[in-house]
């Protein structure tokens, strides 16, 4: 495991998440449509920014970011959407995905700290903080 490979894992996961969030944004239905439609857009916009941040960090340390859908799907630890149709299933899937991404970010933070890469560590810790907030809110939506 290298910092470069862990950063590419983040690029892959956030790219898959971006696509999944777009799908949820387009297909969400029900009484909370307006709330979730806007929330999913906020989250996919954030995902796009994270992909760019992580790729730029990887380039700054002489790495090479993956940049194709094929590479994203081969590298990601989260899965594509499984055609969730209920809003609660969409949110539950996001809880699972964000939890998995959070675990990989913790590994990245530990690795970066061990290698004295404070900038990558700060990036990972900042993302963990964002995800912790997302998980709290998404779990609150699910009533858990």
pLDDT in tens, 12-30: 999 999 999 999 999 999 9
Task: Tell me how crowded residue 65 is: count the other CB atoms within 10 A of its CB.
Answer: 19
Instruction: State the total domains in the chain.
Output: 1
- CATH code: domain of residue 33: 1.20.1260.10
pTM of the model: 0.95
Structural domain containing residue 138: 3-142
Average of per-residue pLDDT across 33-48: 97
Alpha-carbon gap, residue 105 to 15, rounded angstroms? 15
Contact indicator for 97, 78 with CB cutoff of 8 Å: yes
Q: Rounded to whole angstroms, how far apart are CA atoms 123 and 85?
A: 33
């Amino acid at each position: 495991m290298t910092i470069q490979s862990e950063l590419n894992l983040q690029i892959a996961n956030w790219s898959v998440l971006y696509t999944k969030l777009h799908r949820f944004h387009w297909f969400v239905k029900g009484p909370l449509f307006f709330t979730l439609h806007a929330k999913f857009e906020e989250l996919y916009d954030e995902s796009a920014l994270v992909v760019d941040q992580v790729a730029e960090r990887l380039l700054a340390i002489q790495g090479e970011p993956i940049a194709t859908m094929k590479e994203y799907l081969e590298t990601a630890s989260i899965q594509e959407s499984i055609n969730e149709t209920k809003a609660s299933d969409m949110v539950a899937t996001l809880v699972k995905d964000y939890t998995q991404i959070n675990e990989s970010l913790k590994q990245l933070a530990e690795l970066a700290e061990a290698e004295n890469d404070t900038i990558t560590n700060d990036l990972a810790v900042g993302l963990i903080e964002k995800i912790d907030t997302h998980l709290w809110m998404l779990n609150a939506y699910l009533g858990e």
